[in-house]
Amino acid sequence: MVAERVHPWLEVERYTVSVDEYRFFRREGYLVVRGLVQPEHVAELRDHTDAILSGREDLSGYIHRKGSEAPNPMDVHRIHQGHEKIELWERYLLYPRVLDVVEALTGPDVMAMQTMLFTKAPGSNGQGFHQDTFYIPTFPDSLLGAWIAIDPADQENGCLWITPGTQTEPVYPPESGYGHGDRNLGGIELVANVGGHSNDDNDPLNTLKPIAERYKDREVPVEVDPGDVVFFGGHVLHRSLKNRSTDRYRRSFVNHYANARSFTVWGGGNGAHILARGDTHLEFSQPRFNTPCAALDPERGSSISEVPDMMMATPMGTMAAQEPGGDHED
């Protein structure tokens, strides 16, 4: 496989999603791609996170978990939307090998929407059951998360737990009425206190727990090594437990994407989000630090029909963008 020169800082080989991986994602709701982010790039993310935790990185303007500026580096648990201010974050939001997988799973037209950095220090709480589409709705519904491991993550230091099969569940709105569940569904349960802390298996406050209990025998810990990436759909129930280690962080860089032809009002609407791959009839944003992507491609749209391409299986057993239509048999 020939390396593509995509940026002065980066030479990578394109990742091709296999049909088996595609089937697994559709069946289970998630997919782990081992070693997708190359070691030297994981090291760059780790060094950046170390700079934040040591105070060498200026935190002014950062937003942490409570929605305000973090008073000191050790208070940081989760930082949102750093790609709007930091070139490195934009590069890893638009990391080509991650986009290769996103393109196969929810593309070929890809909108890059959100970045988050989780530090999860020893003793830190987890987060209870939640569905990402509740927070970031898209219409049609096409949200996809990409969870990049910076440190090894296991059950001791609070790895991600995913409940396969829950991609078939609707998105549950809370009792307050605010939410993005399908209000035309009859009999949808009312839930409250989505997310929150999750320090043990009781998790009595999060009322998504009874729904998750229906799949209890399917819930799996997703243990990963640095550079592994976990992809999961926006309806999938997932959580994490407390970091019970005494000396190990569980750091991760998490992005969210959607099909670029989906409409959203989240985060300022489509016009605030970067067109990463393909094309769209909707508004989109340019990358602030000129990281190569579809939004900057002068040829964008020149070879794309009015009907968007579809991701389809090839005779080689891989997924690729192809024009819909043509000869077929029912």
Residue 239: CA count within 13 A, CB half-sphere:
27
SS3 content of the chain, % helix, strand, coil (to 5): 20, 25, 55
Interaxial angle between packed helices 19-28 and 96-106, expressed in degrees from 0 to 180 and rounded to the nearest 10? 70
Inside any domain, residue 276: yes
Q: Do residues 115 and 92 lie in contact, with contact meaning Cβ atoms separated by under 8 Å?
A: yes
Provide the CATH number for the domain around residue 137: 2.60.120.620
Mean pLDDT of the chain: 85
Q: What is the pLDDT of residue 1?
A: 41
pLDDT (0 to 100) of residue 301: 65
Let me know: does 250 contact 151? Beta carbons within 8 Å.
Answer: yes
Domain hosting residue 280, numbered range? 4-297
Any bridge partners for residue 114, and if so which?
A: 256
Please report whether residue 309 resides in a domain: no
> pLDDT by residue (tens digit) across 303-328?
445 555 666 666 666 666 666 555 54
In a domain, 320, yes or no: no
- Specify the number of domains making up the chain: 1
pLDDT given at position 315: 64
Has residue 172 been placed in a domain?
Answer: yes
Name the E strands within 100-140.
110-118, 127-130
Range picked from 53-57, 60-64, 98-102 for highest mean pLDDT: 98-102
Q: Is residue 312 domain-resident?
A: no
Across 60-83, average pLDDT = 63
- The single-letter code of the amino acid at 61 is G
Q: Smallest Cα–Cα separation from 155: which of 194, 202, 200?
A: 200
Report percent pLDDT > 90 for the chain: 61
Question: What does DSSP say about strands 274-277 and 110-118: parallel, antiparallel, or unpaired?
Answer: antiparallel
Provide the pLDDT confidence category of residue 62 given band limits of 50, 70 and 90.
low
Cα distance between residue 282 and residue 264, in whole Å: 10
In a domain, 328, yes or no: no
For residues 95-115, give the mean pLDDT.
97
Looking at residue 34, its pLDDT comes to 99
**What is residue 52's predicted lDDT score, i.e. its pLDDT?**
86
Answer yes or no: is 15 within a domain.
Answer: yes
pLDDT-wise least confident of 81-85, 98-102, 148-152, 268-272: 81-85
Q: Which two tokens stand for residue 65?
A: 């978990």
Q: Dump pLDDT digits (tens) for 298-308.
A: 887 654 455 55
What is the per-residue pLDDT for 277?
A: 97
Least confident of 134-138, 254-258, 282-286: 134-138
Residue 166 is assigned to a structural domain of this protein: yes
129 touches 208 (CB < 8 A): yes
Please, what sign has the CA dihedral across residues 276, 278, 279, 282? Answer: negative
